[in-house]
Amino acid sequence: MTEKPTNEDFLRLADPMRRELLAHCYRMMGSVHDAEDLVQETYLRAWRGYEGFEGRSSLRTWLYRIATTACLTALDSRSRRPLPTGLGAPSEEASAPLVQDTEVPWLEPVPDTMVGAGGDDPAAIVTSRESIRLAFVAALQHLPPRQRAVLILRDVLKWKAAEVAEAVGTSTAAVNSILQRARAQLSQVSPSPDDPVEPLTQEQRAQLERYVAAFENYDVDAFVDLFTKDAVWEMPPYVGWYQGPEAIADLVRTQCPAERPGDLRFVPVAANGQPAFAVYFREGDVHRRFAIMVLTFSGALIGHVAMFFDTHLFETFGLPEQKDAWPPPGAGQ
């Protein structure tokens, strides 16, 4: 006679899947904080129902179904999370006053460590970096919720159409139709989840070092050549975005509060499977949290920068509110 599963069994078997479920909810919601709440809800629902789990599917599949349902329910009452590039044309004048919109629920970056996408230990990777890259997650937010779920389950998780149909409550034929529409829309704006994210080359690492040095030395002219000719710079919650190295340089010259070398300090982090930095700005004797910056390379040059001015993200990345000023005020003057 088979023993009934217990809640202790559930906790032991389900806990190792927490990071990949967080990645799934993040793709659906575009928010780390929403994703954390929905993973918690998923585990609570599953824990309560585990004694009735009959094992007709794997525990992983069952948890993903619960998480997908929770996300779809949550999305009924929430707006999509865009980046500024999803709202209109690029800004024409970089020196014009910046317009901030705190009412928009902006897309958030996710730390690689939270979703198991860190590259330091390949054995620990549970989420492919391709599936959480910023451009892909941003594009997903433009899909209706059910299209979003179907595309993630089919193209990211590689589920069969019948499994997806059961998870989202529709027919297999409907899943195939929904998937076709979702793929068509994403093909216009996004990399495929199957496009590989390669490790940074030696040349790209050198470019990052030049990029950081240019900012920390407040040498705007030094980083113009590091961008592609059509590079994009955006910085939610500011609604404007800027295209091209000269526009980006003008933006930094006229809008960045830094005035001298040492005002900005860059701390390397990893977000969305991409190179990223926590940026601190000097105030008196300390550097205080300022923004999280996520970079995308196009070949050897930087093609996209998303600078998130939500200082609460520093807590998400496990970063302190401030650091000792470096170099000290007045050094080298």
Q: Which residues of 255-293 are buried (b: 16+ CB within 10 A; e: fewer)?
A: beebeebbbbbbbebbbbbbbbbbbbbbeeeebbbbbbb
In this prediction, residue 124 carries a pLDDT of 56
Q: Is the pLDDT of residue 332 over 50?
A: no
- Over residues 88-129, the pLDDT tens digits come to 999 989 999 999 999 999 999 999 999 988 765 555 567 888
Q: Is the pLDDT of residue 144 over 80?
A: yes
Reduced to 3 states (helix: H, G, I; strand: E, B; else coil), residue 266 is: strand
Say if residues 140 and 148 touch (Cβ distance below 8 Å).
yes
In this prediction, residue 73 carries a pLDDT of 97
- Over residues 59-99, the pLDDT tens digits come to 999 999 999 999 999 999 888 999 999 999 999 899 999 99
Name the residue with higher pLDDT: 276 or 324: 276
- CATH code of 202-323, in short, is 3.10.450.50
Percent of the chain with pLDDT over 90: 77
In this prediction, residue 230 carries a pLDDT of 95
In this prediction, residue 122 carries a pLDDT of 55
Which H helix or E strand runs over 267? Answer: strand 264-271
In this prediction, residue 35 carries a pLDDT of 98
Percent of the chain with pLDDT over 70: 91
In this prediction, residue 315 carries a pLDDT of 97
What pTM value is reported for the model?
0.92
Instruction: Quote the radius of gyration of the chain (alpha carbons, Å).
Output: 22
In this prediction, residue 118 carries a pLDDT of 72
Name the residue with higher pLDDT: 181 or 51: 181
Reduced to 3 states (helix: H, G, I; strand: E, B; else coil), residue 287 is: strand
CATH class as words, domain 1-78: mainly alpha
Which residue blocks in 238-311 are alpha helix, DSSP H? 245-255
Q: Is the pLDDT of residue 191 over 90?
A: no
Which H helix or E strand runs over 73? Answer: helix 59-75
CA 249 to chain centre: 25
Sorting pLDDT into bands at 50, 70 and 90, what band is 2? very low
Nearest one of 8, 24, 110, 114 to 60, comparing CA atoms: 24
Say if residues 314 and 243 touch (Cβ distance below 8 Å).
no
Average pLDDT (13-31) is 95
Q: Is the pLDDT of residue 179 over 90?
A: yes
Q: Is the pLDDT of residue 244 over 70?
A: yes
Of 1-10, 14-23, 165-174, minimum mean pLDDT range = 1-10
Which residue blocks in 169-272 are alpha helix, DSSP H? 172-186, 202-216, 220-223, 245-255
Question: Where exactly are the structural domains of the chain?
Answer: 1-78, 202-323
Query: Could you tell me the sign of the dihedral formed by the alpha carbons of 257, 259, 265, 266, in that order?
Result: positive
- Over residues 260-318, the pLDDT tens digits come to 999 999 999 999 999 999 999 999 889 999 999 999 999 999 999 999 999 999 999 99
In this prediction, residue 8 carries a pLDDT of 74
DSSP 83: -
Work out the angle at residue 303's Cα, subtended by the Cα atoms of residues 298 and 308, and round it to the nearest 5 degrees: 130
Sorting pLDDT into bands at 50, 70 and 90, what band is 57? confident
- For 285, residues 6+ apart whose C-beta sits below 8 A from its C-beta are 324, 325, 328, 329
In this prediction, residue 199 carries a pLDDT of 87
- Mean per-residue pLDDT of the chain: 90
Alpha carbon distance 326, 332 (integer Å)? 12
In this prediction, residue 50 carries a pLDDT of 85
Alpha carbon distance 249, 235 (integer Å)? 14
In this prediction, residue 325 carries a pLDDT of 65
